[in-house]
Structure 1
Amino acid sequence: MRTLILGGLLATTITLAGAVSSAPPAAARSLPYAALRLPRPTGSHPVGAATLSLADRSRTDPWVPASGARRLMVSLRYPARAAAGRHAPYMTPQESALLLEGQRVTDVPPDVLSGTRTDAFAAAPPLRGRHPLVVLSPGFSLPRSSLTSLAEDLASRGYVVAVIDHTYETFGTTFPDGHTTTCVACEQRQTPELARKVVGGRVADVSFVLDRLLGSRTWNGLIDPSRIGMAGHSIGGDGTAAAMGADARIRAGINMDGAINTPISGLSRPFLLMGTVAAHAPDSTVDPSWNKEWPHLTGWRRWVTVAGTQHSSFTDLHPLADQLGLDFGTDISGVRAVQITRAYVGAFFDLHLRHRPASLLDGPSGGYPEVGFWN
């Protein structure tokens, strides 16, 4: 079997995924690709969806200055009053082809991921009231769609969720005019300086998106500005801590398996480190940077690991790889990885943005024996 890469970059400083292997081509081609779907949300609300194309004219794009203002695509998921209309698309065919090419997956149709069934309804009427907001930032090279199952679950539980595509840091981002950008940042040599540039840009992206959402007549009425959280996968998790340090509006944050390239300086707001650990190596940790930066988290904090996972198990890539017949190199299924991720992320934000009890975060749980508490 050929070895493939599936996930965001994770070398020593940025973040590279574990290796997976493809199923034999004949077996892969026999699968019902049209049946690809995400795990259903667990909350009580239908989920609405919207897509925003935003331009920050206060700064030039850091990766392609000739393109002018920094432009971003943002997917919103929110609690809806009713399940009405068409299902929101997962990604465009161009984005699917570029993601699979970037991950060196060649035994499936290039547009296969664009047919993935979501559980959100485009432009569904939003549930009245002001809801907590969670911003999600994907791993390096991965599109915003890679966190869709988490976003939809949070929305079904009453959150507004904004998932950001960090332009030129993803294999492919399609804009409303039809043009698709590629991962210019991926062409650079992986160094600590590159990681810090990525994180710095994401901090600016997140603050800009918050400004636009809170200043929008459409979305401001749905968002409680005093209850904003953020979670990120891989370098998006590193960017979460940095964004909290730069923007006091973000009240709580989660790093999902991201090395910490930007030092944390006395972060007193709630923070969760959620990492992978191989079932055969339970004493391993995600990265030495977590040990180094842990003392600088001075508020509520937890450090948990999920046994049998790999770097991208916190994303949609794991359940979609299972459905495509790809060996993800893990000891648990993609559906189980999604269940665990949703449970702990949801409990964390319920506790810190809604002040609801979350015993799941107090210690080991019989319902989730894969989850270990390190501190």
Structure 2
Amino acid sequence: MVQLWYPARAAVRLPRAPWMSGRAAAVFQQTGYLLPEYVTLPDTHARVGAAPDRRGGRRPVILYSHGHGQHRGSSTALVEELVSHGYVVVTIDHTYDAGQVEFPGGRVEKYAMPPLTGEDDDPTILKAVDVRVADTRFVLEELSRFARGGRGPLPHGLGDVLDLSRAGMFGHSLGGATAASAMAAGVPITAGANLDGSLFGPVVAKGLRKPFLLMSEDADNKPSWPEIWPRLRGWRRHLRLTGTRHFSYTDYETFMPQAASRLGATDEQLAEFIGPLDGTRGIDVQRRLLLAYFDLQLRGCRAPILEGPSPGYPEVRFIDGGDDPQGNSVGGR
């Protein structure tokens, strides 16, 4: 299952899109942190079935891949920001790897992966990445068919706004690994971004020749990142956000502070989960970095926030070993 987010004509009479579809949400709340007796899941800022705004012509397309056990709505705060700046974003549910996926008609498929070993060469993870890469390739092929005038369930005119010659991808955790592996496998993606995900499989040794952004939590400890770094031969950055944790790159960054008191979580427990950085600030910094990155790579816009440390963003640390391939000095700070 995929969900398409796009700039739309005014559609105030249409219903707001929920953060997660109804039956999937019920499964999510029964098995996750945000139990229904404590938390009401939100609606998004999108409208279901709104007509695409075709006045801006064809727009860059960005794919989103969720983390292991998560779902396509996991980073909606980041997705909405990109769409509000004119991108089309396609969020992908990786069935049986996602926590739950609801299909038309109401069927819900739950997480069904074998137990993981936690090792980088875990065959289950390696197979999951391969399946995710196949998912990504299929989604882009289908979008290309729609852009060429193919028929399907998309809103009328949406194919006319897709510019797949400018396709990006980002993901959280295993979704970030998916972006890297898909690019290494030849899936036609111009630029990728990895939000705190370890990397697996051939891409670590092979590297990439296209732009790639690494954004990590404060306590970054991923051996695959320094291993792949010298093999990133295109534009590259490794940014570490002070005060964040692994799930800071998901909507938990905004949900958990609101729900903490009802869940009985202490400030210390909350900080262990999403870090001590204020959640509103954390999401704002992530939004600005990710937007600047895709604006640079897919639109050719200058991105000062990515050129080096800024007093306006003291949380952002530039981590690497010297000059990037474009000659911009970004030594470790």
Q: With the length of structure 2 as denominator, give the TM-score of the two structures.
A: 0.84
CA contact (8 A) 1:263 1:293 kept: no
Does residue 149 of structure 2 align to residue 244 of structure 1? no
The Cα shift of 1:189 comes to 4.9
Could you say which residue in structure 2 is the equivalent of 1:152?
Answer: 80
CA contact (8 A) 1:94 1:111 kept: no
Does residue 1 of structure 2 align to residue 78 of structure 1? no
CA contact (8 A) 2:38 2:259 kept: no
Task: Choose from 149, 153, 163 the match for 1:224.
Answer: 163
1:309 match: secondary structure: coil
Could you say which residue in structure 2 is the equivalent of 1:337?
Answer: 282
CA contact (8 A) 2:52 2:158 kept: no
The CA distance in 2 between the partners of 1:180 and 1:271, in whole Å, is: 34
CA contact (8 A) 2:193 2:213 kept: yes
The Cα shift of 1:81 comes to 2.5
Does residue 315 of structure 2 align to residue 370 of structure 1? yes
Could you say which residue in structure 1 is the equivalent of 2:259?
Answer: 324
Q: How does 1:295-310 map to 2 (within 5 A)?
A: 295-310=230-245
Does residue 46 of structure 2 align to residue 120 of structure 1? yes
Alignment-mate amino acid for residue 73 of structure 2:
S
The Cα shift of 1:263 comes to 3.5
Alignment-mate amino acid for residue 143 of structure 1:
H
2:17 match: secondary structure: coil
CA contact (8 A) 1:96 1:110 kept: no
The CA distance in 2 between the partners of 1:176 and 1:112, in whole Å, is: 26
The CA distance in 1 between the partners of 2:238 and 2:28, in whole Å, is: 31
State the Cα deviation string for residues 178-207 of structure 1 (Å, max 9, x = none): 011100015455552111111101100001
1:228 match: secondary structure: strand
| Residues 314-323 or 89-98, more deviating | 89-98
Task: Choose from 71, 91, 96 the match for 2:25.
Answer: 96
Does residue 120 of structure 2 align to residue 213 of structure 1? no
Percent of residue pairs identical: 41
The CA distance in 2 between the partners of 1:78 and 1:111, in whole Å, is: 32
The CA distance in 2 between the partners of 1:219 and 1:189, in whole Å, is: 42
Alignment-mate amino acid for residue 271 of structure 1:
F
Q: Aligned in 2, Cα 1:359/1:83: closer, same or farther, shift over 3 Å? A: farther
Alignment-mate amino acid for residue 224 of structure 2:
S
Higher RCO (CA 8 Å, separation ≥ 6 residues): 1
The CA distance in 2 between the partners of 1:178 and 1:311, in whole Å, is: 31
2:217 match: secondary structure: strand
Could you say which residue in structure 1 is the equivalent of 2:200?
Answer: 261
Could you say which residue in structure 1 is the equivalent of 2:218?
Answer: 277
Could you say which residue in structure 2 is the equivalent of 1:348?
Answer: 293
Q: How does 1:133-212 map to 2 (within 5 A)?
A: 133-185=61-113, 187=115, 189-191=117-119, 192-212=122-142
The Cα shift of 1:110 comes to 5.9
1:339 match: secondary structure: helix
Q: What is the number of equivalent residue pairs in this alignment?
A: 294
Alignment-mate amino acid for residue 204 of structure 1:
A
Alignment-mate amino acid for residue 241 of structure 1:
A
Could you say which residue in structure 2 is the equivalent of 1:47?
Answer: none
The Cα shift of 1:92 comes to 2.9
State the Cα deviation string for residues 4-44 of structure 1 (Å, max 9, x = none): xxxxxxxxxxxxxxxxxxxxxxxxxxxxxxxxxxxxxxxxx
Q: Aligned in 2, Cα 1:194/1:204: closer, same or farther, shift over 3 Å? A: same
Alignment-mate amino acid for residue 311 of structure 1:
H
The CA distance in 2 between the partners of 1:188 and 1:373, in whole Å, is: 32
The CA distance in 2 between the partners of 1:371 and 1:142, in whole Å, is: 26
Specify every segment of 5 or more residues in structure 2 that has no aligned partner in the other structure, as ranges: 150-156, 321-333
Alignment-mate amino acid for residue 159 of structure 2:
N
The CA distance in 1 between the partners of 2:31 and 2:213, in whole Å, is: 30
The Cα shift of 1:266 comes to 3.6
CA contact (8 A) 2:293 2:306 kept: yes
CA contact (8 A) 1:231 1:240 kept: yes
The CA distance in 2 between the partners of 1:91 and 1:177, in whole Å, is: 15
State the Cα deviation string for residues 297-339 of structure 1 (Å, max 9, x = none): 1111000000111101011112111111252521112222211
CA contact (8 A) 1:169 1:186 kept: no
The Cα shift of 1:219 comes to 3.6
2:256 match: secondary structure: helix
The Cα shift of 1:135 comes to 0.1
Q: With the length of structure 1 as denominator, give the TM-score of the two structures.
A: 0.75
Q: Aligned in 2, Cα 1:374/1:87: closer, same or farther, shift over 3 Å? A: same
* RMSD of aligned residue pairs (Cα, Å): 1.8
The CA distance in 2 between the partners of 1:110 and 1:130, in whole Å, is: 44
The Cα shift of 1:210 comes to 0.6
